[in-house]
Structure 1
Amino acid sequence: MRIAFYGSSLLSSYWNGAATYYRGLLRDLAARGHQITFYEPDAFDRQKHRDIDPPDWAEVRVYPATAEALREVVAEAARADVVVKASGVGVFDDELITGVMAAARPDAIRIFWDVDAPATLAEIRPVPDHALRRTLPSLDLVLTYGGGPPVIAAYEELGARRCVPIYNALDPETHHPVPADDRFRADLSFLGNRLPDREARVEQFFLDAAARLPERRFLIGGNGWDSKPMPANVRHLGHVYTRDHNAFNTSSLAVLNIARDSMAATGYSPATRVFEAAGAGACLITDAWVGLELFLTEGEEVLVARDGADVAEHLRTLTPERARAIGEAALRRVLREHTYARRGAEVDALLRQQSALRASRVPA
């Protein structure tokens, strides 16, 4: 099928946590025979911070963030068998959801793909005339990269015909064990951009643990932290390109995952970094959230903390041997159950089911 995918960016992970998710899923769908065109705006300096060159498995159309360019890329939706509008494009989101779905052929499959369902639902619930809410009943599918039963129920209450979670996963070709790198050596590392609904939890789980263990080394990567006061034993790296994620994850005793407020409250929302760290064979410490057991087993494949004191205690008692055993167990689990090949198969099956359903409705 020809898929027109309107998202934030395939080429750059700069202020764009969905990049790895897009790459893993769309590359697998391309391997299954789908022809993908990814439309991304030239915005937020992402094109100046590309992580990858345009791939051979998708055509990437980078368009200026102008109304004229928007009209051109919207019109191209009419060529596709599947039209996808993702959340969080960042510019012209309302115009894109209404425009591309209106431009789509009558027989095209229409999908809204939500890469931050808690934030999207919080935005559209109080606004009955929101562009997405108006469009939901006409869509064939809402796909989300997390959220589980609460998100499914919320979308169906708002008029979605069907909502299916397609969770984050591992692409073992891009994220895998590598030798440690001195640039990223620490006792605990955390990678994530500074965002309003994450900062307090970073203070609670990461900075508090660092303050409790002044003799240990802590490393934080991601945009926005340069102006944040931190304990003296915390080193800040700034943006870490995806090409360095494997070394970042393998070079510390343990890696920390901290969900944003909304993701933690909703549950069933493993971040990309969970699978990247597990795929590298790293020992992962994560904050607690509902649904974690669907992905990793506490105490065997992941360590779970309820606050900074728990994080500090894990580090005090964690030996290199146990860290290695936990990381190896996590790697085995994600390779077995949580790869983008598995997720791609789910999406491919959904598209084929939807196509057959549409065909059955066409009068003879």
Structure 2
Amino acid sequence: MLVSVKELHQQTNLGDVHKEKPKKFDHLILGPAAGEGLPDRLQCQGIKALNKIHFGMSRNNSRSIDPVAFVTVFTIYNSTVESRPVDLVTVGNISYNKVKRSLAILNVFINFIQVNMPQSKVIILTDPASELPLQKDMVTIKPIQGEYSRDKLMLQRIRSYIAFLETRLEKLSQKQEQFTHFIFTDSDIAVIDDLGQIFIDYPNFDLALTFRNNKEQPLNSGFIAVRGTAEGIQRGKAFLQEVLKVYSSKFMKASRMLGDQLALAWVVRSNPNFNVRRFSRREAFLDKIGGASVLFLPCSSYNWTPPEGAGQFHGMPLDVKVVHFKGSRKRLMLESWNFFSSSSDLSDTLCLILKSGRTKYDF
């Protein structure tokens, strides 16, 4: 069910709105598409794309690119608690309790990767005590010991990344596994283009981060790429170890949220020669941070978020490659996959996201 902005405005004026919490909607709300008239932005008429997203050549040439695997941290909370009827949320013909909602998001995360990067593996790092009912081709579940409580999950995520890279480095030294690049992401993203092109277009980086024009939090931790060479993995691991050290010593009060992003920014800004003004430009750039060559990629292409994040007020760039459904956009992620499954038109799906992304949903 889709509702216009005019109808939404009428609905919100019917009752007492004094200091009430914003209503979360159980259906998508279509609004105006930002970026109307801008030549390098997606143009939409309803949920029909009038121009098309620029997909990379690698979509049709994936065999020439080194293997890429996606790594995410995921665990289940309160899996033994039965949800009350009031806790159920329905999307399409399926009702979800709290546990099933998280699993549904994880499945859609995998689905978008398997459509747009079908040769890529997905590796899920999880609490050994967490039993994930997930069986899919090209998906590996890897338990890693640690503290996965909600309050420590962001801290544990960095520890899990480091532990995974250590294991990978050992296997590379023993020649037990093939060469693979890694992209560490949140599980609430949709990969809509082949990201393997990054490792070809920028052959000299060890680690890649995404940035936005945000003074306090210029770096988003939901996307970190590591080159799969022994040197790249070693330097990427050392960089994350420094982030973990700063996180643990300076930002534990923000351990539940944002601490990792604050620590990332601290490590980067601690380089006396780093030019923070480069974060205000929508251009990728390389810099030396510690012993690692770090590639900085604009969030507007590699970590685009509706409605948060750099570039959202100017619409969706035609070179967008990753959509990040942070916060209250989880229903939109599922609805987008359902729409794409029925239409098979990715540009139209992106119009649905662009026109629906400013509303808070119930999922």
Q: Normalising by structure 2, what TM-score?
A: 0.27
Q: Normalising by structure 1, what TM-score?
A: 0.27
Q: Which has the higher contact order (CA 8 A, sep 6+)?
A: 2
